[in-house]
Amino acid sequence: MEKKTILITGGAGFIGSHVVRRFVNMYPDYTIVNLDKLTYAGNLANLKDIEKKPNYVFVKADIVDENRMKEIFQQYRFDGVIHLAAESHVDRSISHPNEFIYTNIVGTANLLIAARECWKDHTEGKRFYHISTDEVYGSLGKEGLFKETTSYDPRSPYSASKASSDHLVRAFHHTYGLPAVISNCSNNYGSYQFPEKLIPLSINNIRNNKPIPIYGKGENVRDWLFVEDHAHAIDLIFHKGKDGETYNIGGNNEWSNINLIRLLCRILDRKLDRQPGTSEKLITFVKDRAGHDLRYAIDSSKLRRELGWGPSLDFEKGLEKTVDWYLANEEWMNNITSGEYQKYYELQYKLR
Ligand code: NAD
Ligand code: DAU
């Protein structure tokens, strides 16, 4: 295996920590530099099992700091970048859009500028891989799937900021020949997800006998993918994808929120030795999210056909595995749900 130095941004977050773990363990000849600002969503405890590996380096930095990004690129002379750092929660983008504009748009621009400068004499073998979301495509009605050719129609400050960053990546590829690739993925679930997102928030509330807040009538549909399957897709695209291309990644696994939460309640009743139906009583319908996208569903046939990718787990097994992980890692959950999280939770759910 060729020696390479790879920058992974946002590696202390949910998906980033799975990508860092996979690359550190599978590619001992690569040096993996995890660059993260450690916002509320970044947590080095997500990487405890690999933090002492000789091919892992952590750098605390903010991608919004342009000069720092240039210095770090000059110091490490990266061969590749996998860019995951972002503000990622739609509800926070509705209440506080600014951070999303700085980190997701300006931060991505800074990384593109630093990569272009660093690779200006030599782009052979280099790659800038931008991790994006299916939310850039907007919202579907009851039928249809997002394809790579679907027009962009972002509708929340979060998705608009991600769409902007995708456009910048394509512009740098087209204008300057920066070797770049993008993927747009559907909703991920699995271990180490911050409990502001539907699945870990609900698991935590059920465990503590607290209400499970469902926005609107719970009819919104998401396409769920196990996070390790996303990390596998990222590995394939990073190594075998084509510059200038976009790849959609999805689980082909659509669930309305209410049906998903009912399934989760059944799994938790079993795991917690509760009478069937006990956890469902915690379901509470609350005021809808502003501008709530109705349905996301991904056509990932290009990735399956061209790179031979496919999800490894069916959803019920994946969800059960996820529940087991959260129940076995109470301390991880308790550490991040004390303090600031309580304030966020009260404010976010009091307004509904
Ligand atoms: P996350 O919120 O769990 O983690 C984001 C990480 O980025 C954190 O570690 C945080 O500290 C870091 N970060 C934030 N601002 C930063 C800054 N200015 N400088 C440096 N680091 C910063 O997010 P996630 O759910 O793991 O998502 C990772 C990426 O994948 C994002 O780009 C997101 O848009 C995309 N994505 C997420 C999903 C999903 O379902 N979670 C689906 C598709 C795409
Ligand atoms: O589709 C990919 C996107 O998936 C990623 O780009 C985002 O980073 C990620 O956060 C996720 O966005 P969603 O808004 O779909 O995820 P979230 O877990 O916040 O919500 C999932 C669904 O559940 C959505 O329809 C809103 C609803 N919901 C969410 C919360 C937090 C509730 O009903 N109640 C809640 O308390």
Q: List per-block mean pLDDT (blocks of 10 residues) for the chain, which spans 352 residues.
A: 94 99 98 98 98 98 98 98 98 97 98 97 95 98 97 98 98 98 98 98 98 98 98 98 98 98 98 98 97 98 98 96 98 94 92 62
CATH architecture of 4-189+225-253+295-315+342-350: 3-Layer(aba) Sandwich (3.40)
Q: How much is the pLDDT for 121? A: 87
List the domain boundaries for the chain: 4-189+225-253+295-315+342-350
DSSP 226: E
Q: How much is the pLDDT for 339? A: 87
Distance CA 53, CA 65 (A): 28
C-beta 194 within 6 A of ligand 2: no
Q: Which residues are catalytic?
A: 134-135, 158
Return the amino acid letter for 238.
F
C-beta 159 within 6 A of ligand 2: no
Measure Cα distances from 199 to 192, 205, 221, 232, 314 in Å: 11, 10, 14, 21, 16
Q: How much is the pLDDT for 351? A: 64
Expressed in angstroms and rounded, the spacing between residue 220 Cα and the centre of ligand 2 is: 10
Q: How much is the pLDDT for 263? A: 98
Protein residue closest via CA to atom 36 of ligand 2 = 213
Strand 254-256 relative to strand 221-226: parallel, antiparallel, unpaired? antiparallel
Q: How much is the pLDDT for 1? A: 72
Is there a contact between 101 and 146 (Cβ–Cβ < 8 Å)?
no
- Name residues contacting ligand 1 (CB within 6 A): 9-10, 12-16, 36-39, 41-42, 62-64, 84-88, 103, 107, 131, 133, 162, 185, 187-188, 194
Q: Which residues touch 155 (CB under 8 Å, ≥6 apart)?
A: 138, 139, 291, 293
Q: How much is the pLDDT for 8? A: 99
Model-wide pTM > 0.85: yes
Ligand nearest to the CA of 37: 1
